Amino acid sequence: MGSWQRKVAGVIVALVGVVFLGSVIVNNLFSVGPAFERMSDGFRPAMQPEPIAALKQDLAGLQAVSDEFGTIAVPMLSQALQMTPEDFTAFMGTQFPDVATGVEQLPTIVSSFQGVVDTLEAEQDRFADADAIPTSSLPATTVPWGLVVAGVLLLVIGGVMVLRPGKAIAIAAVVVGALLVAAPLLMSLPGKAASADTMNENLEPVYTAEMLEGATQSLTVVGAMGTQMTQEMLPALGQQLGMDEAALQSFLQENLPAMAGAMAAMPDAMGRFSQTVETFQAHLDDYDTLKPVAFVPIVWTMIIGGAVALLAGLWGLVGARAPRA
């Protein structure tokens, strides 16, 4: 009876090892682990409150430019130049097409970027949890190796339990199983994995190649608008209104403060937007590698597998102590 019980317990322990190794292969963890680590490293600077607040302020400035240009700038400037608003708009489209295109597309551009920034802001806490998988001092690349080592160890222990009698090997199964249960719980891996899965799911609508292509085009449009407005349109309008540069700046700050502020902040704002888009572009392949993988089932496979190995080890220990017939 004892021999039969010990052999079955050994088979169960070995099967848990096979499940661990299979989980590594099925989930492609030796590719997922490095991709997860690269993505975490790349997004860590962007997922802080300060850069996100700066991006929100930049978007608010662009939205203010869009609102102010249509409601205040066009009527005021057309009147100053003795044009109708329609003639001034046509004049802009002919003489300053980059400005006209940018102003026209600003509402759509701001809305698109706002969705991305809002998503980053909403995912800050979940990113912090996921970034600490398995711990803040251990990289995610240790997870597949940990599973492989545990799987091989359980296979060896299970094989020895089947082939050789004794309580020492059954105790080894109990110890390894207990560690596999305790370690993920002590490291809060179920909660961290849930945060990672939810974050990846919430990123899916905005983190696409199409979004990145549109964002790159939007940056080109806004950059061209800012350059032409600063270097061509405003100086030309100042000339036609008989203002030198100082008088023109004073006029803008007094009558069109959103435009004046946006022009001053444009280089820094474009740098922040470009850096954000570059971060997304640099890790799109990493995200595509992570996207099909759910981390919660992997963590619970470790915990449940450890519990099964522990119980099988205890059962095998009872069998090892049973008297021989």
pLDDT digits (tens, 9 = 90+) for 55-78: 999 999 899 888 888 888 888 888
Q: Answer yes or no: is pLDDT of 27 > 90.
A: yes
Query: CB 1: neighbour CB atoms within 10 A?
Result: 10
pLDDT tens-digit readout, 260-289: 888 888 889 999 999 999 999 999 999 999
* Beta carbons of 37 and 140 less than 8 angstroms apart: yes
Residue with tokens 């662009």: 62
Query: CB 124: neighbour CB atoms within 10 A?
Result: 13
Structure tokens of 258?
A: 């959103």
Q: Give the range among 104-118, 159-173, 302-316 with minimum mean pLDDT.
A: 159-173
pLDDT tens-digit readout, 79-128: 888 888 888 889 888 999 999 999 899 999 999 999 999 999 999 999 99
pTM to 2 decimals? Answer: 0.87
Structure tokens of 299?
A: 């963590």
Residues 6+ apart with CB under 8 A from 323: 2
Task: Please name which of 173, 150, 175, 151 lies closest in space to residue 10, comparing C-alpha atoms.
Answer: 173
Tell me the helices (H) and strands (E) count for the chain, helix number first.
16, 0
Q: Can you tell me whether residue 230 is helix, strand or coil?
A: helix
pLDDT averaged over every residue in the chain: 91
